[in-house]
Amino acid sequence: MAWRDTLLPASFRDILFDVISSRDDTERAIVQHEYPYRDGAEVEDMGRRPRLVTLRAVFWGDDYEEDVTALIEALDTPGKGELIHPVFGSLDMVCRSYRVDHHEDSPDYAEMELVFTEASPDIPFFAKAASATSQAAELAGELESCLSLAGLASLAGYVAFAASLPGRVSAYVRGEVLGAIRSVTGAARTLAGLPQVVAADVLAIPQALVSEARAVAGQVVGLAGLPGQFGRFATLAAISDKLPRLPQAKGGTATPYRLQTAAYAGGVATGPLTGAAAPRPSLTLPATGTAAAASSPDLSSSPGQARAIAAAVCNLERATAMANAAGEVLAAEAAAPSLTPAEVETVVGSTRERLRDCIEEHRLVLPTHQAYPVIEQVRGAALAIQELGATVIHLHPPLVSHAAPGQCNLRLLAHWLYRDHTRAAELARLNPGLRNPNFVAQGQVIHGFAN
């Protein structure tokens, strides 16, 4: 951080003034307990005394007297007021004393020494609003925490189901139950394009089901991120394609969650051959969501219950992997943006849809007292991903449409719009349908930030 990024305009009771120096004094309240014929003393720290803030303000110009008078009126007002410290931000202070200095060598110029005393206890210094980057990182951590707790609660429900089987089913039925669960894990590997492995006894070792589902999702995320050259959205789209929703019913089909790049409608093939403006592009968001409602599972038999619960557990792990990947991408967007607002909305919408489906599945297969902790944590994760997406979108001004004032390229257009030719890359990112950034026809509508 540097002063050019963090310094604040100083003011007291909304009266602005310029500051050339500041001094902040702090003293501890100390009680010394001394004893005869003993060296030293026992020191008791009773807390910090009120801080003293000394500011050196300057005023100049033909009307500097008006500014000095306005500040003196604010300082003479009884009671505490809000002081905006140039470095430490908002503080509750009382003006203890002030002094106005004039000098014959500096006409139309005055300096004031202002001494403020802290007026409220426990005021932290540097109590500034968190930066967008830190907010995004905090939301990504909250998302991961909620999904981790949801996974534990979901595992607890499956453990309770597995523990109830030996006492009420025969060995034959237990084999059918185990086969139903293994069919779910096998389908997960097949859909992800991963080799099959020898399945563990997920009834005797319930944690093996979660470990298998987590391993499949982890391998998909790892493989999708290997190229690293197709962009963040393409990586998330590859992960989403390999992690569809597993069916809870026997004979059901997996439902994909498609992440498609947002497109801008209208022809954009402009340039020296045509020289004509393309039709006004309209933003078209890709449709996210399941094509049809999933078929209802058979909960009347033990194998049907096992398949439904196993699918719910696996789908939650797949949603967790996708949500964590989306959270990492959106947190990185706060520092170095590469997605369009439409792509951010698509990622958030698809992730929230996965989480909503997980809520419905667990509500269907688990008793209320077991489903409730899962649902609450998943709801918290859905809120975190929504707030994370909003944080990323709000980093920039609103997206508006600009008409090119003449035939140009994006670098010249960025200079016309923003007086900054280096924002040409930003215009290219916000207009993925633009075929050739070197030829933009007069009147062609380009999407860009408002300022």
353-380 tens-digit pLDDT: 999 999 998 988 888 888 899 999 999 9
- Give kind and range of the element (H or E) at residue 5: helix 3-6
- Interatomic CA distance for residues 412 and 432, integer angstroms: 18
Query: What are the sequence ranges of the domains in the chain?
Result: 3-118, 133-255+290-393, 267-284+397-451
- Give kind and range of the element (H or E) at residue 280: none
Could you tell me which residues come within 8 angstroms of residue 16 by beta carbon, excluding any fewer than 6 positions away?
9, 10
CA dihedral 182, 184, 185, 188 (to 10 degrees): 150
Which structure tokens are listed for 287? 């449709």
Which structure tokens are listed for 180? 């139903």
State pLDDT tens for residues 242-287. 888 888 887 778 888 888 755 544 433 333 334 444 444 444 455 5
Question: Do residues 86 and 22 lie in contact, with contact meaning Cβ atoms separated by under 8 Å?
Answer: yes
Encode burial over 40-49: b for 16+ CB neighbours within 10 A, e otherwise. Answer: eeeeeeeeee
Spans of the chain, pLDDT less than 50: 227, 264-284, 289-292
What is the pairing mode between strands 109-118 and 89-101? antiparallel
12: left (phi over 0), alpha (psi -120 to 50) or beta: beta
What is the helix, strand, coil percentage profile of the chain, to 5? Answer: 45, 20, 35
- Interatomic CA distance for residues 253 and 98, integer angstroms: 78
Domain topology for 3-118: Elongation Factor Tu (Ef-tu); domain 3 (2.40.30)
- Interatomic CA distance for residues 294 and 307, integer angstroms: 14
Which structure tokens are listed for 41? 């003393």
Could you tell me which residues come within 8 angstroms of residue 191 by beta carbon, excluding any fewer than 6 positions away?
242, 243, 244, 246, 254
| Identity of the amino acid at 242 | K
pLDDT of residue 111: 93
Rounded to 10 deg, the angle between the 132-164 and 368-393 helix axes is 160
Residue in 381, 333, 330, 339 with CA at minimum distance from that of residue 151: 381
Question: Do residues 264 and 431 lie in contact, with contact meaning Cβ atoms separated by under 8 Å?
Answer: yes
Which structure tokens are listed for 403? 């008409």
Beta strands in 254-349 (DSSP E): 263-264, 283-284
Could you tell me which residues come within 8 angstroms of residue 179 by beta carbon, excluding any fewer than 6 positions away?
303
- Interatomic CA distance for residues 277 and 268, integer angstroms: 8
pLDDT of residue 220: 83
Residue in 143, 150, 192, 154 with CA at minimum distance from that of residue 326: 143
Could you tell me which residues come within 8 angstroms of residue 408 by beta carbon, excluding any fewer than 6 positions away?
416, 440
The CA-atom distances, in angstroms, between 381 and each of 333, 344, 426, 431, 433 are: 19, 17, 31, 31, 33
pLDDT of residue 268: 38
Quote the pTM value. 0.63
Determine phi and psi for 36, rounding to 5 degrees: -60, 140
The CA-atom distances, in angstroms, between 238 and each of 152, 311, 440 are: 27, 21, 32
pLDDT of residue 75: 92
Say which residue the tokens 């607002």 belong to.
341
- Interatomic CA distance for residues 145 and 142, integer angstroms: 5
